[in-house]
Amino acid sequence: MTSLKSLADSLDAQARAQGKTRRALKQEAGIATQTLVNIMNGKEDYRMSSFLAVADRLGLEVVLLPRQLAVPLAAQESGVRTAMQRLLAQHVPGGADKVDDPSGER
């Protein structure tokens, strides 16, 4: 992820997969409506603590990788997606179906 927009897209996909509304997410994360709008639109900078609060409420962990590891993962997205589906299937009922596939395929 190299932009605020790509981070926002990931948060939005996770929120949709969980059926979580922005209102509920705002309340659970304890942030203002405009702050959540800024985060979810990916158009303005925001406080990292606010981003972390939203990610936490969505059950996400923010992980930083050295670029030399992140680039191969991005290049092999379908393999990563399959690995994620296996992990989700093991830990979340129906979890494999919750991984968004931008190509529309599963």
Q: What is the pLDDT of residues 70-90, one digit of tens each?
A: 666 555 555 555 666 666 667
Q: What is the pLDDT of residue 101?
A: 45
Measured CA to CA, the distance from residue 54 to residue 74 in angstroms comes to: 23
Measured CA to CA, the distance from residue 103 to residue 49 in angstroms comes to: 32
Residues 44 and 87 in one domain: no
Q: How many angstroms separate the Cα of 90 from the Cα of each of 9, 60, 80?
A: 25, 16, 15
Q: What is the pLDDT of residue 104?
A: 41
Residues 84 and 46 in one domain: no
**Residue 89 lies in domain:** 67-98
Q: What is the pLDDT of residue 15?
A: 93
Residues 79 and 34 in one domain: no
Measured CA to CA, the distance from residue 79 to residue 16 in angstroms comes to: 22
Position 104 in a domain: no
DSSP codes of every residue in 5-23: HHHHHHHHHHHHHHT--HH
Residues 78 and 48 in one domain: no
Give, as one character, the DSSP assignment of residue 64.
-
Task: Write out pLDDT tens, residues 56-65.
Answer: 999 988 887 7
Q: What is the pLDDT of residue 105?
A: 44
Name the stretches of the chain with pLDDT < 70.
Answer: 1, 70-89, 92-106
Q: What is the pLDDT of residue 102?
A: 44
